[in-house]
């Protein structure tokens, strides 16, 4: 797997055993250290969810991994083939859906490439639609198709279901779980939803004080059942870590 290395400190050695390797990462805004010596490894093909209170630096970390923010200290290894999907689908309104899917790809692929990705997310019937005519869930699926055509080794998802209604959200979560299992790429999902994290991830991380403050391996079989008492226990443990009283929340 080809890797991108960024950061002022260049570490030698192979990262073939990891899809992401972050060492001593810090990011400061206006004199405030939002990320402060963070360490993180994601294994190839691993699904990792990242939780943390609002403003703790989750999106900042994702932007750094995406290569959109390089004003950092520390070292970051990520695969060259990576793709992102954010809460806002960021489709270009003047391009039809299939052209949006291919946007930014270097070697002008054929329409069939976009159609295959749209098929994978159940949106081939909307290939010729204009973005403004899509529903929220459809736009998010188009955004996922745009990520998939990049054939990523690492998929970075920042609250991709945050703006969706409950039913569409459940469908989108299932779709991402299926795509991950089919594609075998590593996924790093930023979410506020503890249940979503436990449903989808191999490992859930909690970010606090600029570092990964806690992690939980989720060794429940898939597909996961939120009614399973083990699910409830893991969920309660994570809520506790986040400072949320699970009993008050359930009341």
Ligand X SMILES: Nc1ncnc2c1ncn2[C@@H]1O[C@H](COP(=O)(O)OP(=O)(O)OP(=O)(O)O)[C@@H](O)[C@H]1O
Instruction: Pick the stretch among 9-17, 53-61, 141-149, 224-232 that binds ligand X (CB under 6 A).
Output: 53-61
93 touching ligand X, by CB under 6 A: no
Question: According to CB under 6 A, which one of 10, 12, 54, 247 is a site residue for ligand X?
Answer: 54
**Is residue 226 a contact partner of residue 220, using CB atoms and an 8 Å limit?**
no
57 touching ligand X, by CB under 6 A: yes
**Is residue 16 a contact partner of residue 186, using CB atoms and an 8 Å limit?**
no
**Nearest distance in Å: CB 95, ligand X:** 28
CA distance 93 to 38: 37
**Nearest distance in Å: CB 57, ligand X:** 4
Q: Which is nearer to ligand X, 15 or 191 (CB)?
A: 191
Burial 57-94, CB ≥16 within 10 A → b, else e: bbbbbbbbbbeeeeebbbbbbbbebbbbbbbebebeee
**Is residue 51 a contact partner of residue 205, using CB atoms and an 8 Å limit?**
yes
79 touching ligand X, by CB under 6 A: no
According to DSSP, the β-strands at 47-51 and 203-208 are parallel
Q: In the numeric block, which tokens belong to residue 58?
A: 């989750």
Burial 175-188, CB ≥16 within 10 A → b, else e: bbbebbeebebbbb
Q: Which is nearer to ligand X, 71 or 119 (CB)?
A: 71
Identify the bridge partners of residue 33 per DSSP, sorted by sequence position: 28
Instruction: Pick the stretch among 47-55, 77-85, 127-135, 195-203 that binds ligand X (CB under 6 A).
Output: 47-55
**Nearest distance in Å: CB 26, ligand X:** 12
**Nearest distance in Å: CB 177, ligand X:** 22
The owner of tokens 């309660």 is 236
58 touching ligand X, by CB under 6 A: yes
Residue by residue, DSSP assigns 180-245 as: HHHH--EEEEE-S-HHHHHHH-SEEEEEETTEEEEEEE----SS--TTSHHHHHHHHHHHHHTT--
Q: Which is nearer to ligand X, 34 or 113 (CB)?
A: 34
Interactions with ligand X, residue window 19-38 (CB under 6 A): 29-30, 34
68 touching ligand X, by CB under 6 A: no
**Nearest distance in Å: CB 88, ligand X:** 12
Q: Which is nearer to ligand X, 59 or 168 (CB)?
A: 59
52 touching ligand X, by CB under 6 A: yes
Q: Which is nearer to ligand X, 34 or 220 (CB)?
A: 34
Query: Among candidates 32, 37, 55, which has minimal Cα distance to 213?
Result: 37
55 touching ligand X, by CB under 6 A: yes
In the complex, the residues that contact ligand X under the rule CB under 6 A are 29-30, 34, 52, 54-60
């Amino acid at each position: 797997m080809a890797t991108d290395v960024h950061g002022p400190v260049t570490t030698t050695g192979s990262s073939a055993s990891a899809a992401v390797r972050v060492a001593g990462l810090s990011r400061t805004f206006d004199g405030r250290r939002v990320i402060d010596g963070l360490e993180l490894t994601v294994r190839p093909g691993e699904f990792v969810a990242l939780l943390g209170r609002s403003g703790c630096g989750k999106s900042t970390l994702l932007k750094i991994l995406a290569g959109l923010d390089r004003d950092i200290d520390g070292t970051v290894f990520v695969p060259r083939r990576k793709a992102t999907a954010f809460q806002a689908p960021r489709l270009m309104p003047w391009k039809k859906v299939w052209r949006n899917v291919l946007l930014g790809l270097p070697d002008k692929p054929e329409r069939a490439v976009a159609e295959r990705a749209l098929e994978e997310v159940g949106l081939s019937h909307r290939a010729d639609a204009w973005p403004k005519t899509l529903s929220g869930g459809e736009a998010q699926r188009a955004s996922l198709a745009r990520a998939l055509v990049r054939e990523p080794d690492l998929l970075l998802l920042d609250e991709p279901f945050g703006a969706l209604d409950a039913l569409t959200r459940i469908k989108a979560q299932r779709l991402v779980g299926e795509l991950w299992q089919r594609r075998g790429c590593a996924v790093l999902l930023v979410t506020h939803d503890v249940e979503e994290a436990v449903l989808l991830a191999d490992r859930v991380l909690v970010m606090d004080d600029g570092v990964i403050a806690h992690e939980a391996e989720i060794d429940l079989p898939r597909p996961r059942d939120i009614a399973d008492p083990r699910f409830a226990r893991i969920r309660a443990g994570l809520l506790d870590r986040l400072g949320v009283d699970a009993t008050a929340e359930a009341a």
